[in-house]
């Protein structure tokens, strides 16, 4: 018995700042991510910046920056986004490989500063044309583009001159950007998402804010909500067939014990991401968040009409990433482990990846049920995957059975959610379907792809593409619409 509809969107997912490269090619302007160094499991990625006094410094990519500091590209430092795995130069070859895997769709993001080098209203025709070419190439193979409008970066100019999304002016620039791309690609792209993992947008790196305190972070979030809602409305006016979604990092948390305090702790953890989902899917701020703001003295500056804009601009579907679950506990000595942008509590029942992320396929079914029960909107798993070190054998093969095992269990869990729980799931795009730079650590060593790319953590490599064993396996999954897993 197969739970997936015949038009289920099987594919893969990437993001411009981690995959595209070509950081100053074809008239592209700088974006914040261009000034973020590589890192590792144990050493954080750093922002290189220049102070108002002219000093060159660096700091952890999640830190606040001094007022007036501007992003700085140090000629002696290696920045992984500059070449990444060079989709810019390899898009035809890569799309051909995706088509061989049978992709029905391909998730990618647009580099805002490729289209508008400063993020303002001056456009770069060469950048617009690049994405035209990419979409044409995808459509040539019958692959539906799924576009994240903004994935973790902002043109450096907007970060440096306006303090990024803390400024209301950025809403207009973003909406102009959306209007531009909606009009330009209205016959090529149907599926859009406004902001990647909106619940994780909280630093200069991602949204250009210098001060990461709660007041600035939530003010910026309000601007993101208004901008997203305006984009949804304008998008539907430009093409009523557009499907415009939100995107959230979904990490479900279980109470460590049935102690009510642990249950409350888990509720509080889960509410943080639901806040972002509630605003974009239901169209209003949830009561618990308003109360939290009152307690913390966070006053959101809203303009008259903002609440209506948010109400009218709710999304058509929910896109989400799912890699892992976590646990909530009031015990300060609970064991910790790694996680996607969070330090998680260790679940004694689950194995973890080499980066400490808990592997929890049933958690994916639980997540799908939780989200669908709460919002009753179509769901799209736009990221899921297993970051691991891959080895090229002497015969040139890459035996990534651990990845196949991870995907198999997660796909079966999502099939249960469709077949047994009635969840309306429209697609599945595993993360980093071709190797790309890790967002969290800046490493190449942490690989997710079905396709290997010869590039290391210091920028050395031929960029040659090699199929891993999972390539053929995923091709069969897609060709059989999941039924080969029975």
**What amino acid positions are annotated as catalytic residues?**
197, 383
The dihedrals phi and psi of 170, each to the nearest 5 degrees, come to -65, -25
CA distance 227 to 250: 22
State the nearest-atom distance from the C-beta of 59 to ligand BG6, in Å.
19
**Helix/strand/coil for 211:** coil
Whole-number Cα distances in Å, 71 to 22, 138, 356, 381: 18, 34, 31, 33
Of the pair 194, 438, the CB lying nearest ligand BG6 is at 438
Q: Degrees (nearest 5) of the Cα angle 359, 364, 369?
A: 155
Of the pair 317, 431, the CB lying nearest ligand BG6 is at 431
Of the pair 15, 371, the CB lying nearest ligand BG6 is at 15
State the nearest-atom distance from the C-beta of 347 to ligand BG6, in Å.
19
State the nearest-atom distance from the C-beta of 443 to ligand BG6, in Å.
8
Give the residues lining the site for ligand BG6 (CB under 6 A): 15, 18, 152, 196-197, 249, 321, 340, 383, 387, 431, 438-441, 446
Concatenated DSSP letters of 97-145: HHHHHT-SEEEEE--HHHHSTTSSS---HHHHHHHHHHHHHHHHTTPEE
CA distance 242 to 185: 11
Of the pair 30, 84, the CB lying nearest ligand BG6 is at 84
Of the pair 103, 431, the CB lying nearest ligand BG6 is at 431
Q: How many Cβ atoms from other residues are within 10 Å of residue 261's Cβ?
A: 14
CA distance 478 to 9: 9
CA dihedral 368, 146, 179, 225 (to 10 degrees): 20
Residue with the shortest CB distance to ligand BG6: 440
Q: Tell me if 39 sits within 8 A of 442, measured CB to CB.
A: yes
Q: Indicate the burial class of 300 (C-beta count within 10 angstroms; 0-12, 13-18, 19 or more).
A: middle
For the chain, what is the largest distance between any 2 Cα atoms, rounded to a whole number of angstroms?
A: 67
State the nearest-atom distance from the C-beta of 249 to ligand BG6, in Å.
5
State the nearest-atom distance from the C-beta of 341 to ligand BG6, in Å.
6
Q: Tokens 């583009």, residue?
A: 145
Of the pair 219, 321, the CB lying nearest ligand BG6 is at 321
State the nearest-atom distance from the C-beta of 74 to ligand BG6, in Å.
23
């Amino acid at each position: 018995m197969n739970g997936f509809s015949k038009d289920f969107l099987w594919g893969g997912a990437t993001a411009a700042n981690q995959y595209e490269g070509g950081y100053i090619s074809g008239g592209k302007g700088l974006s914040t991510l261009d000034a973020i160094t590589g890192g590792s499991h144990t050493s954080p990625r750093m922002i290189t910046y220049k102070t108002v006094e002219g000093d060159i410094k660096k700091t952890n990519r999640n830190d606040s920056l001094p007022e007036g500091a501007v992003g700085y590209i140090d000629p002696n430092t290696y920045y992984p986004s500059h070449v990444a795995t060079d989709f810019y130069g390899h898009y035809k070859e890569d799309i051909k490989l995706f088509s061989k895997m049978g992709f029905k769709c391909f998730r990618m993001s647009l580099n805002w500063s490729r289209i508008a080098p400063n993020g303002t209203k001056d456009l770069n025709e060469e950048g617009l044309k690049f994405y035209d070419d990419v979409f044409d190439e995808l459509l040539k193979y019958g692959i539906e583009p799924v576009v994240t409008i903004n994935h973790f970066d902002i043109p450096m100019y907007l970060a440096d001159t306006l303090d990024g999304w803390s400024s209301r002016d950025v809403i207009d620039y973003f909406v102009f950007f959306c209007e531009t791309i909606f009009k330009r690609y209205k016959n090529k792209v149907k599926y859009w998402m406004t902001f990647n993992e909106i619940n994780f947008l909280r630093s200069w790196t991602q949204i250009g804010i210098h001060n990461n305190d709660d007041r600035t972070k939530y003010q910026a979030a309000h601007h993101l909500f208004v901008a997203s809602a305006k984009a949804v409305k304008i998008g539907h006016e430009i093409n009523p067939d557009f499907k415009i979604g939100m995107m959230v990092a979904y990490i479900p948390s279980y109470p460590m014990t049935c102690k009510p305090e642990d249950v409350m702790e888990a509720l509080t953890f889960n509410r943080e991401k639901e806040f972002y989902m509630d605003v974009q899917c239901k169209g209003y701020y949830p009561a618990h968040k308003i109360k939290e703001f009152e307690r913390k003295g966070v006053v959101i500056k809203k303009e008259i009409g903002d609440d209506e804009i948010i109400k009218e601009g709710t999304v058509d579907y929910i896109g989400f990433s799912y890699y892992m679950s976590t646990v909530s506990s009031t015990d300060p000595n609970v064991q910790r482990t790694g996680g996607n942008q969070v330090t998680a509590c260790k679940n004694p029942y689950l194995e973890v990846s080499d980066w400490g992320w808990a592997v929890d396929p049933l958690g994916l079914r639980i997540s799908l049920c939780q989200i669908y029960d709460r919002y009753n909107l179509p769901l799209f798993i736009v990221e899921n995957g297993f970051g691991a070190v891959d080895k090229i054998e002497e015969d040139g093969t890459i035996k990534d059975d651990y990845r196949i095992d991870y995907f198999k269990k997660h796909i079966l869990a999502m099939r249960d959610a469709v077949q047994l729980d009635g969840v309306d799931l429209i697609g599945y795009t595993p993360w980093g379907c071709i190797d790309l730079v890790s967002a969290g650590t800046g490493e190449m060593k942490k690989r997710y792809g079905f396709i290997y790319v010869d590039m290391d953590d210091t920028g050395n490599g031929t960029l040659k593409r090699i199929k891993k064993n999972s390539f053929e396996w995923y091709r069969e999954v897609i060709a059989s619409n999941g039924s080969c897993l029975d």
